[in-house]
Structure 1
Amino acid sequence: MKKAVSFLVVLLLVIMLIPSANSFNSSAPQIFSSSLEQKQPLSSTPNVLYDRTAVVAYADKFWDIYNPSYNNYSDSGGDCANFVSQCMIAGGLSLWQGYNGNGAGVDSKGAMPFCDYLHQNLVNYQSATWDYIEWSGTAPSWLSPGDVIIYGDASNETSPDYWRHAVVVVEGYGNNAKISGHTTNRYHVAWNYAFPSPFHRTNFYRLPNGTISEYTQFKVTASALNVRVGPGVQSPYDTPIGQIKLDQQYIAYEYVVNATGKKWWHFWFDNRSAWCSADYTATINENIKFKVDTANLNVRTGPGTGYQIVSNIFSGQTFTAFELLTNGTLDWYHFWCQGRNDTWCCANYTTPITDNMPRSIAGWIPYWSWNSGISTFTNNIELFDEISPFWYKANADGSLNSYSGAGNQTFVKLAHDNDVKVLPLISNEYNKTLVNQILSNLSIMNNHISNIVNLVVANNYDGIDIDYEGLYASDKNNFTLFISNLAEELHSKNRLLSICVQAKWSDSITWDGPGAMDYENLSKHADKLRIMAYDEHWSTSEPGPIASYSWTENIVKYAITKSSKDKIVLGVPFYGRDWWQTGSDTWDSDAYTYTGISGLMTSEGATREWNETAKVPQFTYYDHLGDGKDHYVYYEDNQSLSYKLDLVVKYDLGGICAWSLGNEDQNNFDIMRSKLAVGKSFIFYLSQGWNLITLPLETSYTAEALALNITNCTHIGCWNNSLQKFIIHEKGTGTDNFNLQPGIGYHVYVSTKSKINITGTALKTLSVDLYKGWNSIGWRNFTNIDAESLAQNITNCTAIAYWDSTLGRFIIHPAGAEVSNFAVERGSGYFVYVEEEGY
């Protein structure tokens, strides 16, 4: 906490040193609005998951054998409660509370060997419904697979023992239920096999199903991290049951903050639920998250059924895959399991996990069809997060040429007024030699980068979109270097970089064009990879879909193994082509907008056909009035777009970008509204040390949730305007975990350069109450102003201050003075001093 304390001292010194001023604008308009109610974060509730199918699958696998990952009590009083405990753990529960809330009764493997302890855990800590019968009777109607039965002696015996033998229900319901158990081993026998003799009481336990409201993906940051049976290192959790290793990724479905104030992740390890300390992890959103949706799935050493089985995973369990391969008719996930890197499972029996977060919708507007493109954009402007007008062309000397209409500030203002970021496109017009000349000369490359950055800043663009297509494959490394250097310069000014990358679906694609696109390394630097997933069949190819479903899915499946999913933007086509044969094996075609396709179909009397395999529309016609040839037309409409949006949701991609606006079926936008949780994105680059930021979107974050979202963040600070008091939340401690409000400035400490990357919805109105003294505010507008303009627009304001993260100190502008009149920029936080309360 030394850095946090030092920062507080600096802030207090600033407050004492600020001079008073009397100048203010009493007629200033209201520029800040009402604090928004915040949703509560994910809670650490018990019974967050109970997958009954997994319970039954585990019982079926181990009913007559003993899992070596657990203790075996068959020769020391019986293994029945231990076995039932294992089944519950396989279903997602943890018995770490023990029978007394402090772990008592839990053995070194996390199970319970005694039936009476199991009873107390079920009733007191698993919130199970408990009922029983004595001597005679029927099972309760709610009894279901996954529920627990414990047999005992009746209460009227001389020495009653109500809890002597435990079993788990594996089949049937109510009085038809069947059970399995250990000591003696039994498989799917009637629940009343032992009732009323030798046992005279039957206790029934109905476990709640539980729900998962949020998955958290985390990466191990230590060389090795111990996995334990409970959230702590004290007895009985002191003996690790395994380890997970550096950079391995897992998925937590619950967390707790234990008695020492430390956060622990509850996650799947091998075929059981387990715990690890969150202190040695970083939260991420990378690679493929998947859930098992079959009862029992084999884990193998390779991507095929001929490889050795090394473990099993069960229904509902969740993991992270870092590779996806197709072997014959089956897909295979290469994933982290048991702390190993060499494990595979069949992806056909899993479901990808999606976060249902708001997704970015973007579009390109070509200068040659500006009027139709701007009409589409304006009519659907609330959908868009980013817009890319086709405005600039690169030259071989590193300079830039402008296309018609480039730099239209009326358009930029229209976009910004509607919370849409403007990232104009720079094209190479498919000239690979031109780009080679830029990339092969470092001086020209640097000049090109300077020209791009200067263009972006001078025109108040939010970033740039690089569309250099058809490059020499041999330029791959130099192109990556160019993107790396350009990204560094843009990010230093908090501007964004997106790249249009040509479609590829394998590392074996090494020819010019896609062969120059190193998805993995490009994604390390760019903010977005816009994958141009179209032209599967191109202008002179044989006829076929512009982008078939399976072709598009293969591109996506490849991309998500190379880049974090939030950076992947699926380029979707809004056009079609009409092919005709020009020779024995040659073809030509014309491109059409959707409106053009509709007119062509009408004029030729053709009928739309749906290609179920490719999931695209098509039709054919004979041009009897023209060239006298058969024509083959493939195109895109709202139905084909719907399937592509399903892929965005299925694989949890960052969003879509449409080529191009003005070409579309007008119903496309209704499909977007229904299929995607449309939102706005915000990316802000942080310097090492303290940063003063704001969240310019409507979001739901606590200080802890924001800290977990930012790599290498350790503290989030907040100045309480009403109390005139500074509060610091240290990540993982569970203390001072305040809700973040829009329009407020927050202090973020990162140990290395990092960034904020969040999604939310646009803020339509915003007000912040200001109190006498210092107030922390944030600037959410796209239009930047200076400190003096801000001061003049706040009643009774005498000073504005911002935190210079490079110098590590506040810069103060006294209202009415000419000194330190700094820029006020979107995403940054500021302090304002007012003499009287206001807003």
Structure 2
Amino acid sequence: MFKIRKKLILVAVLSLLVSNITCVAYASQYLRQGDYGPNVVALQEQLRQLGYLAVPATGFFGPLTAAAVTKLQSDYYLIPDGIVGPLTRNLLERLTQKEGTPDPYRQKRTIMGYYAGKETPLPSSLTSLTNHGTKLTYVAPFRYRLNAGGTGSLDTLEQIPEKELNKLFLAARENKIKVLALVHNMLYGNGIQGRDVAHRILSDPQKRWSLVMNIFYLLRENGFDGVEIDIEDIYPGDSQLFNQFMAELAAQLKPAGYYISVALPAKFSDTPNMSWGDSFDYATIGHYADQVVVMAYDEHGAYSGPGPIASLPWVEKVVQYTVSKIPAQKVLLGIPAYGFDWNCDGSFPRYLSYDLAMEIARWYGISINWDTRAEVPYFRYIDENGSRHEVWFENASSWAGKLDLVAKYNLKGAAIWRLGMEDPDSWRVIGDKFTIEK
């Protein structure tokens, strides 16, 4: 592979000396039958390396190269059109490039993984944590919830059993990962609204302080390194009360050496738009928190029609607003690992992992499409009942664009919702782009 790269570099340098030729990087164009030049040489060398092309690289994209590309695409459930676009290019790079030694000159980035227990058919996050712990700085188990009575006490959810939590801590310590206890106000059921629970606590100074101290004791008695505050659903009128809670939490936790991370819903501006983000004062929260996770996902979600979970232009708008309020070096870009399968008959969409999305595509014999504007994958199919479906999800290619925003805006890093749902190859992309902070 080293010799191949030397040849490609030589060809690229020589091509710059030739007048009347505009050099376009292989990574930014489509290649198809009839094309020629160093980019085709690179393609052919990759196909030869993978055993799809038996003849030497000529630099001309002819019928043999087209047939090799079509066969590769067919083998990996892409549209077998013989054209090398973003999905095919990314596949070739994944199959031919080995992860190298981290570059000591690259800036370090923080990577946090949200951890959940098994949610059939979704797996627990444990395997992902164990297999990819070298690429994580923090892990936040989704285990603690504000008590529905609004007293300031915390409930421990059994979705992550004690035995599994012990395995989480063991894997974290082996990989030098810090563990943050995630505290949230969601998933109550029985008509209980998380914003009502939060209001009862935030509006009462005694209950608010009780919550602060219960979080403090939770961290101290269980060996956590800090807390991830994921109180997402609050009334807009409680915004200043939430700021006060953050001030009191910081005053108690920071002198004791505990780390404070806060998850915030995505928004573009200070103008209210009837979304969850209206309730949160980014600048003040960013002042008290050690880091902030901006949840740049659910552009389309469970309560909308089909579309990208997080299109790249939409995510960039979220980032631009966020860094106008919070120092970039405190910001983690929240990246979705999930997708949705929308049934066009109007029923509630199905929550999908990458593996489930690919399983559906294989079952129905569907090729994966790529939305060039959103820079995300999607596909459509018709089920056995004749219902039309639209599936939008995330993969290593879509993550690559989002991780580039982390570098472009010099953010602290990224946070993944959630471990165990991601395209396994996404970890290679993270490793290729960043040296991981430990």
| TM score, norm. by length of structure 1 | 0.37
Say which SS state the counterpart of residue 465 (structure 1) adopts: strand
Question: Contact 2:144–2:155 at 8 Å: present in 1 too?
Answer: yes
For structure 1, the 5+ residue unaligned runs are 1-354, 681-839
Shift in CA distance, 472/368, structure 1 to aligned 2, threshold 3 Å: farther
1:804-832 superposed Cα distances (whole Å, 9 cap, x missing partner): xxxxxxxxxxxxxxxxxxxxxxxxxxxxx
Pairwise CA distance, 1:510: 4.9
Question: Contact 1:390–1:424 at 8 Å: present in 2 too?
Answer: yes
| Aligned match of 1:604 | 364
Alpha-carbon distance between aligned partners in 2 of 1:481 and 1:379, rounded to the nearest angstrom: 40
Pairwise CA distance, 1:362: 0.7
Alpha-carbon distance between aligned partners in 2 of 1:621 and 1:487, rounded to the nearest angstrom: 50
Q: 2:279 is matched with which residue: 468, 492, 516?
A: 516
| Aligned match of 1:478 | 241
Alignment of 1:372-771 (within 5 A): 372-395=124-147, 396-404=150-158, 405=160, 408-429=165-186, 431-582=194-345, 588-623=348-383, 625-626=384-385, 628-680=386-438
Question: Contact 2:116–2:124 at 8 Å: present in 1 too?
Answer: no
Moved over 6 A (4+): none
| TM score, norm. by length of structure 2 | 0.71
Pairwise CA distance, 1:629: 1.6
1:42-95 superposed Cα distances (whole Å, 9 cap, x missing partner): xxxxxxxxxxxxxxxxxxxxxxxxxxxxxxxxxxxxxxxxxxxxxxxxxxxxxx
Question: Contact 2:118–2:125 at 8 Å: present in 1 too?
Answer: no
Shift in CA distance, 410/631, structure 1 to aligned 2, threshold 3 Å: closer
Question: Contact 2:129–2:171 at 8 Å: present in 1 too?
Answer: no
Pairwise CA distance, 1:542: 1.2
Say which SS state the counterpart of residue 561 (structure 1) adopts: helix
| Aligned match of 1:365 | 115
For structure 2, the 5+ residue unaligned runs are 1-104, 188-193
Pairwise CA distance, 1:540: 2.5
Pairwise CA distance, 1:488: 1.5
1:462-515 superposed Cα distances (whole Å, 9 cap, x missing partner): 001111112111111111111111112110100011111100111113535111
Give the paired residue count. 321
Query: Which amino acid in 2 is paired with 1:429?
Result: M
Alpha-carbon distance between aligned partners in 1 of 2:210 and 2:217, rounded to the nearest angstrom: 10
Question: Contact 1:473–1:512 at 8 Å: present in 2 too?
Answer: no
Alpha-carbon distance between aligned partners in 2 of 1:380 and 1:607, rounded to the nearest angstrom: 28
Pairwise CA distance, 1:604: 1.4
Alignment of 1:61-210 (within 5 A): none
Alpha-carbon distance between aligned partners in 2 of 1:440 and 1:576, rounded to the nearest angstrom: 36
Shift in CA distance, 478/678, structure 1 to aligned 2, threshold 3 Å: same
Alpha-carbon distance between aligned partners in 1 of 2:205 and 2:106, rounded to the nearest angstrom: 43
Pairwise CA distance, 1:413: 3.6
Question: Contact 1:391–1:406 at 8 Å: present in 2 too?
Answer: no
Query: Which amino acid in 2 is paired with 1:516?
Result: S
Query: Which amino acid in 2 is paired with 1:667?
Result: D
Question: Contact 2:185–2:233 at 8 Å: present in 1 too?
Answer: no
Pairwise CA distance, 1:401: 0.7
| Aligned match of 1:4 | none
| Aligned match of 1:747 | none
Alpha-carbon distance between aligned partners in 1 of 2:355 and 2:108, rounded to the nearest angstrom: 30
Pairwise CA distance, 1:671: 0.3
Pairwise CA distance, 1:403: 1.3
1:330-377 superposed Cα distances (whole Å, 9 cap, x missing partner): xxxxxxxxxxxxxxxxxxxxxxxxx95200011011123496411111
Alpha-carbon distance between aligned partners in 2 of 1:633 and 1:509, rounded to the nearest angstrom: 30
Pairwise CA distance, 1:457: 0.8
Pairwise CA distance, 1:394: 0.7
Say which SS state the counterpart of residue 487 (structure 1) adopts: helix
Query: Which amino acid in 2 is paired with 1:653?
Result: L
Shift in CA distance, 374/410, structure 1 to aligned 2, threshold 3 Å: closer
What is the percent sequence identity of the aligned residues?
32
Alpha-carbon distance between aligned partners in 1 of 2:117 and 2:437, rounded to the nearest angstrom: 26
Alpha-carbon distance between aligned partners in 2 of 1:555 and 1:604, rounded to the nearest angstrom: 35
Query: Which amino acid in 1 is paired with 2:145?
Result: K
Alpha-carbon distance between aligned partners in 1 of 2:253 and 2:139, rounded to the nearest angstrom: 18
Alpha-carbon distance between aligned partners in 2 of 1:470 and 1:594, rounded to the nearest angstrom: 27
Shift in CA distance, 406/514, structure 1 to aligned 2, threshold 3 Å: farther
Say which SS state the counterpart of residue 492 (structure 1) adopts: helix
1:149-199 superposed Cα distances (whole Å, 9 cap, x missing partner): xxxxxxxxxxxxxxxxxxxxxxxxxxxxxxxxxxxxxxxxxxxxxxxxxxx
Query: Which amino acid in 2 is paired with 1:433?
Result: D
Q: Give the number of the structure whose alpha-carbon radius of gyration is greater.
A: 1
- C-alpha RMSD of the superposition: 1.6
